[in-house]
Amino acid sequence: MALITAGSKDDCKWDMPDDFYYHKKDHVWAKLEDGLVRMGLDAFGQWAAGDLAQMRTFPVGRAIRKDHAFGNIESGKFIGPMRSPISGTIKEVNTDVVTNPAKVNEDNYGNWIVLVEPSDLEADLADLPHGEDGIRAWMEEELNSFKEKDLLNCD
């Protein structure tokens, strides 16, 4: 587990499991499970979005492509896509989470969003942050980008 911190505030600490893969921009995590890939929103992603009020995803059976949206999220002050870290076909949608997206704020790794059957897994995983060092390097860059835009209220 990589614990990423910014400043000294308790709520500016984000756990990022180092055995997961991540979509760099939209903070969608991907966990490999017996040939399938479970996906959800990472700790920083749910923090940045705030209390989620709405979530939409494509239905079961829809083919999705790496870096293209498979759904979107909305909170009181934010709306944005969830782009997929990998290509494949949606096998299952966690409708409990989609209808109650605030569950992601409560437990973002337990409350997964979609389960995907990958179509080109090895190639898709190649450029995704993974492992403690990879995740730390990516998140350092990410936090600096937020700081430069004065978007991180963590001091």
Partner 1 sequence: MSLAAAMTLGLRPGIFYRGAKLCCINLLLTYQGGCAGNCAYCGLQRQRQGDFNQKSFIRVEWPTFPLDEIIARSADRTAAIDRICISMVTHGRAVDDTLAVAESLKPLEKFVSVLMAPTVIDKEAIGGLKDAGVEIGSVAIDAATEELFAKFRGQGVKGPHKWERYWQCLGEAVEVFGRGKAGCHLIVGLGENEAEMAGTIQRVVDLGANVHLFSFYPEEGSALAGRSPCDAGQFRRMQLASYLIQQGFTSADRISFDGSGRVTDFGVAGEEVAIVIESGIPFMTSGCPGKDKLVACTRPFGDGPPGDIRSYPFTPNMEDIAKIRLEMGDI
Q: Give the binding site for partner 1 (CB under 8 A).
A: 9, 11, 47-51, 74-80, 146, 149-155
CB of 46 to partner 1, least distance (A): 8
How buried is 99 (Cβ within 10 angstroms: 0-12 exposed, 13-18 middle, 19+ buried)? exposed
Q: How far is the CB of 88 from partner 1 (least distance, A)?
A: 27
Q: Which is nearer to partner 1, 61 or 77 (CB)?
A: 77
Residue whose CB is less far from partner 1, 2 or 49? 49
- Starting at the edge strand that comes first in sequence, how are the strands of the sheet with 28-33 ordered? 21-22, 28-33, 36-41, 114-118, 88-93, 63-64
In the complex with partner 1, the residue whose CB is nearer, 72 or 119, is: 72
Instruction: State how far the Cα of 151 lies from the Cα of 137, in Å rounded to an integer.
Output: 19
